[in-house]
Protein backbone atom coordinates (compact mmCIF):
# COMPACT_ATOMS: atom_id res chain seq x y z
CA UNK A 1 0.00 0.00 0.00
CA UNK A 2 1.18 3.49 -0.85
CA UNK A 3 0.36 6.16 1.72
CA UNK A 4 -0.64 9.52 0.23
CA UNK A 5 -0.09 12.01 3.01
CA UNK A 6 -3.22 14.05 3.62
CA UNK A 7 -2.21 17.19 5.45
CA UNK A 8 -4.89 19.46 4.06
CA UNK A 9 -3.04 20.55 0.94
CA UNK A 10 -4.57 20.95 -2.48
CA UNK A 11 -6.05 18.44 -4.81
CA UNK A 12 -4.80 15.15 -3.39
CA UNK A 13 -7.59 13.22 -5.07
CA UNK A 14 -5.83 13.49 -8.44
CA UNK A 15 -2.93 11.42 -7.14
CA UNK A 16 -5.35 8.91 -5.70
CA UNK A 17 -7.34 8.76 -8.96
CA UNK A 18 -4.18 8.05 -10.93
CA UNK A 19 -3.05 5.25 -8.57
CA UNK A 20 -6.57 3.77 -8.56
CA UNK A 21 -6.56 3.84 -12.36
CA UNK A 22 -3.25 1.94 -12.33
CA UNK A 23 -4.66 -0.58 -9.88
CA UNK A 24 -2.13 0.38 -7.20
CA UNK A 25 -3.36 0.01 -3.66
CA UNK A 26 -3.21 3.36 -1.88
CA UNK A 27 -4.66 5.34 0.96
CA UNK A 28 -5.04 9.00 1.86
CA UNK A 29 -3.84 9.21 5.41
CA UNK A 30 -2.40 11.33 8.19
CA UNK A 31 -2.05 8.37 10.51
CA UNK A 32 1.53 7.68 11.69
CA UNK A 33 1.07 3.91 11.91
CA UNK A 34 -0.32 3.73 8.38
CA UNK A 35 2.60 5.75 7.07
CA UNK A 36 5.07 3.54 8.93
CA UNK A 37 3.42 0.37 7.60
CA UNK A 38 3.10 1.57 3.99
CA UNK A 39 5.36 0.24 1.21
CA UNK A 40 5.89 3.74 -0.11
CA UNK A 41 4.91 7.32 0.56
CA UNK A 42 3.69 10.15 -1.65
CA UNK A 43 3.76 13.73 -0.41
CA UNK A 44 1.48 15.78 -2.64
CA UNK A 45 1.05 19.50 -2.33
CA UNK A 46 -0.46 22.54 -3.90
CA UNK A 47 -0.31 25.91 -2.21
CA UNK A 48 2.31 28.01 -0.49
CA UNK A 49 5.54 26.73 1.10
CA UNK A 50 5.27 28.22 4.62
CA UNK A 51 1.63 27.27 4.85
CA UNK A 52 2.33 23.65 3.84
CA UNK A 53 5.22 23.35 6.34
CA UNK A 54 2.97 24.74 9.03
CA UNK A 55 0.28 22.17 8.19
CA UNK A 56 2.87 19.38 8.23
CA UNK A 57 4.26 20.55 11.57
CA UNK A 58 0.78 20.77 13.05
CA UNK A 59 -0.03 17.28 11.82
CA UNK A 60 2.91 16.02 13.90
CA UNK A 61 4.16 14.00 10.92
CA UNK A 62 7.47 15.71 10.20
CA UNK A 63 9.65 13.33 12.22
CA UNK A 64 7.82 10.30 10.85
CA UNK A 65 8.25 11.56 7.29
CA UNK A 66 11.96 12.26 7.76
CA UNK A 67 12.58 8.85 9.29
CA UNK A 68 10.40 6.85 6.88
CA UNK A 69 11.72 8.61 3.76
CA UNK A 70 15.02 6.75 4.22
CA UNK A 71 13.37 3.38 4.71
CA UNK A 72 11.10 3.16 1.68
CA UNK A 73 10.43 4.90 -1.64
CA UNK A 74 9.24 8.45 -1.05
CA UNK A 75 7.90 10.76 -3.76
CA UNK A 76 7.19 14.46 -3.31
CA UNK A 77 5.01 16.07 -5.99
CA UNK A 78 5.10 19.78 -6.95
CA UNK A 79 5.10 21.66 -3.64
CA UNK A 80 5.71 18.27 -2.02
CA UNK A 81 8.94 18.10 -4.05
CA UNK A 82 9.95 21.60 -3.01
CA UNK A 83 9.44 20.69 0.64
CA UNK A 84 12.14 18.01 0.29
CA UNK A 85 14.79 20.75 0.19
CA UNK A 86 16.34 22.60 3.11
CA UNK A 87 14.71 25.97 2.64
CA UNK A 88 11.99 27.82 0.78
CA UNK A 89 11.61 31.54 0.08
CA UNK A 90 7.94 31.87 -0.84
CA UNK A 91 6.65 34.98 1.00
CA UNK A 92 9.21 34.35 3.75
CA UNK A 93 12.26 32.22 4.51
CA UNK A 94 11.05 28.87 5.76
CA UNK A 95 12.75 25.59 6.67
CA UNK A 96 11.80 22.57 4.58
CA UNK A 97 12.24 18.87 5.35
CA UNK A 98 15.92 18.94 4.39
CA UNK A 99 15.94 15.51 2.71
CA UNK A 100 17.84 16.84 -0.32
CA UNK A 101 20.47 19.60 -0.25
CA UNK A 102 19.29 22.85 -1.79
CA UNK A 103 16.82 25.72 -1.70
CA UNK A 104 13.65 26.76 -3.44
CA UNK A 105 13.73 30.21 -5.06
CA UNK A 106 11.42 32.40 -7.15
CA UNK A 107 11.92 31.98 -10.90
CA UNK A 108 13.04 35.53 -11.32
CA UNK A 109 13.95 36.03 -14.94
CA UNK A 110 12.97 39.07 -16.97
CA UNK A 111 10.21 38.54 -19.55
CA UNK A 112 9.35 35.11 -18.25
CA UNK A 113 5.65 34.29 -18.02
CA UNK A 114 5.00 33.22 -14.42
CA UNK A 115 3.69 30.72 -13.32
CA UNK A 116 5.54 28.21 -15.46
CA UNK A 117 2.32 26.58 -16.57
CA UNK A 118 1.89 23.88 -19.16
CA UNK A 119 3.70 20.99 -20.81
CA UNK A 120 7.47 21.04 -20.89
CA UNK A 121 10.01 18.52 -22.07
CA UNK A 122 12.15 16.42 -19.73
CA UNK A 123 15.90 16.56 -20.36
CA UNK A 124 17.45 13.56 -18.68
CA UNK A 125 20.55 14.11 -16.57
CA UNK A 126 20.98 10.58 -15.23
CA UNK A 127 19.30 7.21 -15.10
CA UNK A 128 16.60 6.65 -12.53
CA UNK A 129 14.17 3.81 -11.87
CA UNK A 130 11.24 6.26 -12.16
CA UNK A 131 12.04 7.20 -15.75
CA UNK A 132 12.26 3.65 -17.12
CA UNK A 133 10.33 3.36 -20.36
CA UNK A 134 10.06 7.10 -21.07
CA UNK A 135 11.09 8.25 -24.53
CA UNK A 136 13.54 11.06 -25.20
CA UNK A 137 11.00 13.76 -25.86
CA UNK A 138 8.67 13.28 -22.97
CA UNK A 139 6.42 16.18 -22.03
CA UNK A 140 5.02 16.58 -18.52
CA UNK A 141 2.68 19.13 -16.95
CA UNK A 142 4.07 21.89 -14.73
CA UNK A 143 2.45 24.62 -12.64
CA UNK A 144 4.81 26.51 -10.37
CA UNK A 145 6.48 29.86 -9.75
CA UNK A 146 9.40 28.73 -7.58
CA UNK A 147 12.12 26.26 -8.50
CA UNK A 148 14.71 24.14 -6.76
CA UNK A 149 18.29 25.38 -6.73
CA UNK A 150 20.40 22.29 -6.08
CA UNK A 151 23.43 20.23 -7.14
CA UNK A 152 23.26 18.59 -10.54
CA UNK A 153 24.02 15.26 -8.84
CA UNK A 154 20.52 15.36 -7.36
CA UNK A 155 18.80 16.14 -10.65
CA UNK A 156 17.40 13.21 -12.64
CA UNK A 157 15.86 15.46 -15.30
CA UNK A 158 15.70 19.17 -16.08
CA UNK A 159 13.30 21.22 -18.12
CA UNK A 160 14.18 24.50 -19.76
CA UNK A 161 12.20 27.58 -18.81
CA UNK A 162 14.19 30.78 -18.60
CA UNK A 163 17.07 28.70 -17.28
CA UNK A 164 17.36 25.09 -16.26
CA UNK A 165 14.58 23.95 -13.97
CA UNK A 166 15.09 20.79 -11.89
CA UNK A 167 12.07 18.70 -12.91
CA UNK A 168 12.78 15.35 -11.29
CA UNK A 169 15.18 15.11 -8.33
CA UNK A 170 16.46 12.34 -6.10
CA UNK A 171 18.81 11.78 -3.19
CA UNK A 172 20.14 8.81 -5.18
CA UNK A 173 18.50 6.41 -2.77
CA UNK A 174 14.88 6.37 -1.65
CA UNK A 175 13.81 10.01 -1.94
CA UNK A 176 12.36 11.35 -5.22
CA UNK A 177 10.67 14.62 -6.11
CA UNK A 178 8.73 15.71 -9.20
CA UNK A 179 8.29 19.43 -9.76
CA UNK A 180 5.68 18.57 -12.41
CA UNK A 181 2.41 16.71 -11.79
CA UNK A 182 2.78 13.07 -12.88
CA UNK A 183 -0.91 12.57 -12.06
CA UNK A 184 -1.77 15.22 -14.68
CA UNK A 185 0.86 14.34 -17.27
CA UNK A 186 -1.05 11.83 -19.36
CA UNK A 187 0.60 8.53 -20.23
CA UNK A 188 4.11 9.75 -19.37
CA UNK A 189 3.01 10.68 -15.87
CA UNK A 190 1.24 7.37 -15.38
CA UNK A 191 4.44 5.56 -16.41
CA UNK A 192 6.38 7.43 -13.73
CA UNK A 193 3.79 6.57 -11.08
CA UNK A 194 3.75 2.96 -12.23
CA UNK A 195 7.55 2.83 -11.90
CA UNK A 196 7.30 4.31 -8.42
CA UNK A 197 4.69 1.73 -7.41
CA UNK A 198 6.94 -1.02 -8.78
CA UNK A 199 9.81 0.30 -6.66
CA UNK A 200 7.58 0.24 -3.59
CA UNK A 201 6.60 -3.33 -4.34
CA UNK A 202 10.20 -4.44 -4.77
CA UNK A 203 11.25 -2.84 -1.51
CA UNK A 204 8.60 -4.72 0.37
CA UNK B 1 10.97 24.40 -23.69
CA UNK B 2 7.38 25.07 -22.77
CA UNK B 3 4.90 23.88 -25.38
CA UNK B 4 1.90 25.90 -26.57
CA UNK B 5 -1.37 24.37 -25.39
CA UNK B 6 -4.46 23.44 -27.38
CA UNK B 7 -7.54 23.41 -25.17
CA UNK B 8 -10.96 22.08 -26.18
CA UNK B 9 -13.87 23.53 -24.21
CA UNK B 10 -17.08 21.64 -23.48
CA UNK B 11 -20.23 23.62 -22.72
CA UNK B 12 -22.27 21.58 -20.30
CA UNK B 13 -25.90 21.99 -19.26
CA UNK B 14 -27.57 19.63 -16.81
CA UNK B 15 -24.80 17.11 -17.32
CA UNK B 16 -24.94 17.11 -21.12
CA UNK B 17 -22.61 18.73 -23.61
CA UNK B 18 -24.52 21.36 -25.53
CA UNK B 19 -23.73 23.88 -28.18
CA UNK B 20 -25.84 26.98 -28.30
CA UNK B 21 -26.41 29.11 -31.33
CA UNK B 22 -26.98 32.64 -30.06
CA UNK B 23 -28.59 31.28 -26.92
CA UNK B 24 -31.40 29.77 -28.97
CA UNK B 25 -31.63 26.29 -30.41
CA UNK B 26 -29.25 24.72 -27.96
CA UNK B 27 -28.21 21.34 -29.32
CA UNK B 28 -27.22 18.44 -27.11
CA UNK B 29 -24.11 16.88 -28.52
CA UNK B 30 -23.22 14.25 -26.00
CA UNK B 31 -21.91 12.93 -22.75
CA UNK B 32 -19.22 15.22 -21.28
CA UNK B 33 -17.19 12.42 -19.72
CA UNK B 34 -17.03 10.56 -23.05
CA UNK B 35 -16.21 13.79 -24.91
CA UNK B 36 -13.42 14.63 -22.47
CA UNK B 37 -12.01 11.13 -22.83
CA UNK B 38 -12.06 11.47 -26.61
CA UNK B 39 -10.29 14.87 -26.48
CA UNK B 40 -7.71 13.37 -24.17
CA UNK B 41 -7.04 10.65 -26.75
CA UNK B 42 -6.69 13.29 -29.46
CA UNK B 43 -3.92 14.95 -27.45
CA UNK B 44 -5.72 17.80 -25.70
CA UNK B 45 -3.33 19.59 -23.34
CA UNK B 46 -6.12 20.54 -20.96
CA UNK B 47 -9.88 20.26 -20.96
CA UNK B 48 -12.32 22.99 -19.96
CA UNK B 49 -15.87 22.33 -18.80
CA UNK B 50 -18.03 25.39 -18.98
CA UNK B 51 -21.18 24.96 -16.92
CA UNK B 52 -24.06 26.89 -18.43
CA UNK B 53 -26.58 25.47 -15.99
CA UNK B 54 -28.30 28.14 -13.97
CA UNK B 55 -29.86 25.97 -11.29
CA UNK B 56 -28.34 24.76 -8.08
CA UNK B 57 -29.18 21.11 -8.85
CA UNK B 58 -27.29 21.52 -12.09
CA UNK B 59 -24.12 22.34 -10.17
CA UNK B 60 -24.23 19.00 -8.40
CA UNK B 61 -24.53 17.25 -11.75
CA UNK B 62 -21.54 19.24 -13.02
CA UNK B 63 -19.44 18.11 -10.06
CA UNK B 64 -20.38 14.50 -10.81
CA UNK B 65 -19.16 15.01 -14.36
CA UNK B 66 -15.84 16.35 -13.05
CA UNK B 67 -15.51 13.48 -10.57
CA UNK B 68 -16.09 10.84 -13.27
CA UNK B 69 -13.77 12.53 -15.75
CA UNK B 70 -10.97 12.86 -13.20
CA UNK B 71 -10.98 9.10 -12.75
CA UNK B 72 -9.93 8.41 -16.30
CA UNK B 73 -8.53 11.55 -17.85
CA UNK B 74 -5.09 12.49 -16.55
CA UNK B 75 -4.59 15.95 -17.98
CA UNK B 76 -5.54 19.21 -16.24
CA UNK B 77 -9.25 19.95 -15.97
CA UNK B 78 -10.72 23.43 -15.63
CA UNK B 79 -14.28 24.18 -14.61
CA UNK B 80 -15.97 27.50 -15.26
CA UNK B 81 -19.48 28.86 -14.94
CA UNK B 82 -21.53 29.41 -11.83
CA UNK B 83 -18.63 29.76 -9.42
CA UNK B 84 -19.50 32.58 -7.05
CA UNK B 85 -17.94 31.80 -3.68
CA UNK B 86 -14.80 30.38 -2.11
CA UNK B 87 -16.88 27.33 -1.15
CA UNK B 88 -17.78 26.80 -4.81
CA UNK B 89 -14.08 26.86 -5.64
CA UNK B 90 -13.27 24.38 -2.88
CA UNK B 91 -16.07 22.01 -3.95
CA UNK B 92 -15.00 22.14 -7.57
CA UNK B 93 -11.33 21.46 -6.79
CA UNK B 94 -12.27 18.65 -4.44
CA UNK B 95 -14.33 17.06 -7.20
CA UNK B 96 -11.12 16.79 -9.21
CA UNK B 97 -10.77 20.06 -11.10
CA UNK B 98 -7.27 21.52 -11.23
CA UNK B 99 -8.42 25.05 -11.94
CA UNK B 100 -11.57 27.07 -11.79
CA UNK B 101 -12.43 29.81 -14.22
CA UNK B 102 -14.29 32.81 -12.82
CA UNK B 103 -15.74 35.46 -15.09
CA UNK B 104 -18.76 37.67 -14.29
CA UNK B 105 -18.48 36.99 -10.60
CA UNK B 106 -14.87 38.18 -10.55
CA UNK B 107 -15.97 41.47 -12.06
CA UNK B 108 -18.76 41.90 -9.53
CA UNK B 109 -16.59 40.75 -6.65
CA UNK B 110 -12.83 40.97 -7.40
CA UNK B 111 -12.08 39.85 -3.84
CA UNK B 112 -13.08 36.34 -4.97
CA UNK B 113 -9.87 36.20 -7.03
CA UNK B 114 -7.72 37.21 -4.07
CA UNK B 115 -9.45 34.90 -1.60
CA UNK B 116 -9.28 32.00 -4.03
CA UNK B 117 -5.61 32.60 -4.79
CA UNK B 118 -4.68 33.02 -1.13
CA UNK B 119 -6.38 29.82 -0.07
CA UNK B 120 -5.86 27.50 -3.03
CA UNK B 121 -2.94 29.10 -4.86
CA UNK B 122 -2.80 31.31 -7.95
CA UNK B 123 -2.24 28.31 -10.18
CA UNK B 124 -5.85 27.22 -9.86
CA UNK B 125 -7.50 30.61 -10.40
CA UNK B 126 -8.11 31.35 -14.05
CA UNK B 127 -10.01 34.54 -14.80
CA UNK B 128 -12.22 34.42 -17.86
CA UNK B 129 -12.88 37.73 -19.60
CA UNK B 130 -15.36 38.72 -22.30
CA UNK B 131 -14.26 41.96 -23.92
CA UNK B 132 -15.33 44.11 -26.85
CA UNK B 133 -13.66 46.86 -28.80
CA UNK B 134 -15.03 50.37 -28.20
CA UNK B 135 -12.36 52.49 -29.89
CA UNK B 136 -8.93 52.13 -31.45
CA UNK B 137 -6.85 49.95 -29.10
CA UNK B 138 -9.52 50.23 -26.46
CA UNK B 139 -11.72 47.46 -25.14
CA UNK B 140 -14.16 47.13 -22.24
CA UNK B 141 -15.12 44.19 -20.08
CA UNK B 142 -18.59 42.64 -20.40
CA UNK B 143 -20.38 40.23 -18.08
CA UNK B 144 -23.30 37.81 -18.18
CA UNK B 145 -22.30 36.10 -21.38
CA UNK B 146 -21.33 39.32 -23.09
CA UNK B 147 -24.60 41.09 -22.47
CA UNK B 148 -23.69 43.80 -19.95
CA UNK B 149 -20.96 46.36 -20.56
CA UNK B 150 -19.26 47.05 -17.24
CA UNK B 151 -17.35 49.96 -18.79
CA UNK B 152 -14.14 48.73 -17.24
CA UNK B 153 -11.08 49.19 -19.40
CA UNK B 154 -9.72 45.77 -20.40
CA UNK B 155 -6.06 46.61 -19.81
CA UNK B 156 -6.76 48.10 -16.38
CA UNK B 157 -8.77 44.99 -15.53
CA UNK B 158 -6.10 42.46 -16.54
CA UNK B 159 -3.46 44.33 -14.53
CA UNK B 160 -5.78 44.38 -11.56
CA UNK B 161 -6.59 40.66 -11.65
CA UNK B 162 -2.92 39.82 -11.98
CA UNK B 163 -2.26 41.84 -8.85
CA UNK B 164 -5.12 40.11 -7.05
CA UNK B 165 -3.41 36.78 -7.68
CA UNK B 166 -4.98 35.32 -10.82
CA UNK B 167 -2.76 32.59 -12.25
CA UNK B 168 -4.02 32.76 -15.80
CA UNK B 169 -6.35 34.68 -18.10
CA UNK B 170 -8.76 33.19 -20.61
CA UNK B 171 -9.47 36.05 -22.99
CA UNK B 172 -12.59 35.85 -25.11
CA UNK B 173 -13.30 38.45 -27.75
CA UNK B 174 -16.98 39.23 -28.23
CA UNK B 175 -16.12 40.76 -31.60
CA UNK B 176 -14.60 37.60 -33.04
CA UNK B 177 -16.52 34.95 -31.08
CA UNK B 178 -18.71 32.92 -33.42
CA UNK B 179 -17.46 34.79 -36.50
CA UNK B 180 -14.89 32.08 -37.25
CA UNK B 181 -12.48 34.52 -38.82
CA UNK B 182 -9.64 33.86 -36.38
CA UNK B 183 -8.72 34.97 -32.88
CA UNK B 184 -8.73 38.68 -32.01
CA UNK B 185 -4.99 39.12 -32.40
CA UNK B 186 -4.88 42.83 -31.66
CA UNK B 187 -6.68 42.49 -28.36
CA UNK B 188 -4.74 39.37 -27.49
CA UNK B 189 -1.42 41.08 -28.08
CA UNK B 190 -2.38 44.06 -25.94
CA UNK B 191 -3.31 41.82 -23.02
CA UNK B 192 -0.27 39.55 -23.33
CA UNK B 193 1.96 42.66 -23.28
CA UNK B 194 0.22 44.05 -20.20
CA UNK B 195 0.64 41.07 -17.86
CA UNK B 196 3.18 38.43 -16.85
CA UNK B 197 0.71 35.58 -16.35
CA UNK B 198 -0.24 33.16 -19.15
CA UNK B 199 -3.04 34.16 -21.52
CA UNK B 200 -5.35 31.74 -23.33
CA UNK B 201 -6.82 32.92 -26.64
CA UNK B 202 -10.53 32.26 -27.00
CA UNK B 203 -13.23 33.12 -29.50
CA UNK B 204 -12.97 33.14 -33.26
CA UNK B 205 -11.19 29.98 -34.36
CA UNK B 206 -12.87 28.87 -37.58
CA UNK B 207 -10.20 26.90 -39.34
CA UNK B 208 -6.97 25.03 -38.88
CA UNK B 209 -4.58 27.94 -39.54
CA UNK B 210 -6.12 30.18 -36.90
CA UNK B 211 -4.39 28.39 -34.03
CA UNK B 212 -0.88 28.64 -35.49
CA UNK B 213 -1.60 32.24 -36.43
CA UNK B 214 -2.36 33.13 -32.79
CA UNK B 215 0.91 31.55 -31.64
CA UNK B 216 3.02 33.07 -34.42
CA UNK B 217 1.62 36.59 -34.10
CA UNK B 218 1.21 36.88 -30.33
CA UNK B 219 2.87 35.42 -27.25
CA UNK B 220 -0.32 33.79 -25.99
CA UNK B 221 0.29 30.54 -24.10
CA UNK B 222 -2.69 28.54 -25.28
CA UNK B 223 -5.63 28.58 -27.65
CA UNK B 224 -9.12 27.39 -26.84
CA UNK B 225 -12.04 26.37 -29.03
CA UNK B 226 -15.39 24.70 -28.50
CA UNK B 227 -17.64 24.18 -31.52
CA UNK B 228 -14.87 23.39 -34.00
CA UNK B 229 -13.95 20.37 -31.91
CA UNK B 230 -17.54 19.53 -30.85
CA UNK B 231 -18.74 19.19 -34.38
CA UNK B 232 -15.62 17.28 -35.38
CA UNK B 233 -14.71 19.82 -38.04
CA UNK B 234 -11.20 19.52 -36.68
CA UNK B 235 -9.52 17.22 -34.21
CA UNK B 236 -7.08 18.42 -31.59
CA UNK B 237 -4.49 16.23 -33.33
CA UNK B 238 -4.94 18.01 -36.68
CA UNK B 239 -4.54 21.41 -35.04
CA UNK B 240 -1.39 20.26 -33.28
CA UNK B 241 0.08 18.80 -36.49
CA UNK B 242 -0.53 22.09 -38.30
CA UNK B 243 1.16 24.08 -35.52
CA UNK B 244 4.08 21.67 -35.42
CA UNK B 245 4.57 21.90 -39.18
CA UNK B 246 4.93 25.68 -38.74
CA UNK B 247 7.68 25.33 -36.17
CA UNK B 248 5.56 25.92 -33.09
CA UNK B 249 6.54 23.86 -30.07
CA UNK B 250 3.69 21.48 -29.30
CA UNK B 251 3.52 18.45 -27.05
Quick check: helix, strand or coil at residue B76?
A: coil
> Domain limits of chain B?
5-245
Mean pLDDT of B23-44: 83
Nearest CA in chain A to B198: A113
* Per-residue pLDDT at B23: 45
* Per-residue pLDDT at B227: 87
Residues contacting B32, CB < 8 A, separation 6+: B10, B12, B15, B16, B17, B49, B65, B69
Q: Is the pLDDT of residue B54 over 70?
A: no
Angle, CA A81 vertex, CA A78 and CA A87 arms, to 5°: 120
Mean pLDDT of B107-113: 97
DSSP secondary structure string for all residues of B204-239: ---STHHHHHHHHHS--SEEEESHHHHTTSS-HHHH
Question: Quick one: which H or E segment has residue A121?
Answer: strand A116-121
Q: Is the pLDDT of residue A34 over 80?
A: yes
Active site residue A181: yes
Q: Is the pLDDT of residue A184 over 50?
A: yes
Hey, are the CB atoms on B123 and A141 less than 8 Å from each other? no
Give the least confident one: A4-8, A138-142, B23-27: B23-27
Give the least confident one: A46-55, A157-166, B119-128: A46-55
Q: How confident is the model at residue B18 (pLDDT cuts 50, 70, 90)?
A: confident
* Per-residue pLDDT at B82: 87
* Per-residue pLDDT at A9: 62
* Per-residue pLDDT at A204: 61
* Per-residue pLDDT at B36: 95
> Domain limits of chain A?
2-202
Of B141 and A8, the structure prediction assigns the larger pLDDT to B141
Q: Is the pLDDT of residue B100 over 70?
A: yes
Cβ-Cβ contacts under 8 Å, A114 against chain B = 196-197
How many Å apart are CA A73 and CA B20, to the nearest integer? 50
How many Å apart are CA A65 and CA A163, to the nearest integer? 31
How many Å apart are CA B131 and CA B146, to the nearest integer? 8
Q: Where are the beta strands (DSSP E) in A122-178?
A: 123-124, 139-144, 146-149, 155-161, 163-170, 175-178
* Per-residue pLDDT at B22: 45
Cβ-based neighbour number of residue B56 at 10 Å: 8
Average pLDDT, chain A: 94
Q: How confident is the model at residue A161 (pLDDT cuts 50, 70, 90)?
A: very high
Mean pLDDT of A70-78: 97
Task: Render pLDDT for B180-214 as a digit per residue (tens, 0 to 9).
Answer: 999 999 999 999 999 999 999 999 999 999 999 99
Which of A78, A128, A150, A200 is flagged as catalytic?
A78
Task: Render pLDDT for B127-157 as a digit per residue (tens, 0 to 9).
Answer: 999 999 999 999 999 998 888 999 999 999 9
Average pLDDT, chain B: 92
Which of B45, B51, B88, B130 is flagged as catalytic?
B130
On whether the CB atoms of residues B127 and A75 are closer than 8 A, the answer is no
Which of A116, A128, A144, A181 is flagged as catalytic?
A181
Angle, CA B167 vertex, CA A123 and CA B171 arms, to 5°: 105
Q: Is the pLDDT of residue A36 over 70?
A: yes
How many residues would you count in chain B? Answer: 251
Mean pLDDT of A171-191: 97
* Per-residue pLDDT at A85: 98
Nearest CA in chain A to B249: A120
* Per-residue pLDDT at A171: 97
Cα-trace Rg, chain A: 15
* Per-residue pLDDT at B25: 56
Q: How confident is the model at residue A10 (pLDDT cuts 50, 70, 90)?
A: low
Hey, are the CB atoms on A114 and B1 less than 8 Å from each other? no
Superfamily of domain B5-245: Aldolase class I (3.20.20.70)
Most confident of A8-22, A105-119, B137-151, B156-170: B156-170
Residues contacting B135, CB < 8 A, separation 6+: none
Nearest CA in chain B to A189: B74
Active site residue B11: yes
The answer as to CATH 3.40.50.880 being correct for domain A2-202 is: yes
* Per-residue pLDDT at B84: 92
Distance between A33 CA and the closest CA of chain B, angstroms: 26
Amino acid sequence: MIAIIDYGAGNIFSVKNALDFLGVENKLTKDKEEIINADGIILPGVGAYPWAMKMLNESGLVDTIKEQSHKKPFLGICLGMQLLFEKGFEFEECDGLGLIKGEVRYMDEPDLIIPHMGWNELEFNMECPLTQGLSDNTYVYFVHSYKAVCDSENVVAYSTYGGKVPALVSDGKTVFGAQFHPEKSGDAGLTILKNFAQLCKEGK
Amino acid sequence: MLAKRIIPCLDVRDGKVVKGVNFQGIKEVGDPVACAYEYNKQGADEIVFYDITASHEGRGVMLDVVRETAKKVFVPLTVGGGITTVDDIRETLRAGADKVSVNSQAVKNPQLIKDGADIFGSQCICVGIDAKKIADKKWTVFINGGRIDMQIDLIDWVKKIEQLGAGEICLNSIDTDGVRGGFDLEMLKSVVDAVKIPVIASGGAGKLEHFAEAFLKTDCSAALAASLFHFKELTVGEVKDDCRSKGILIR
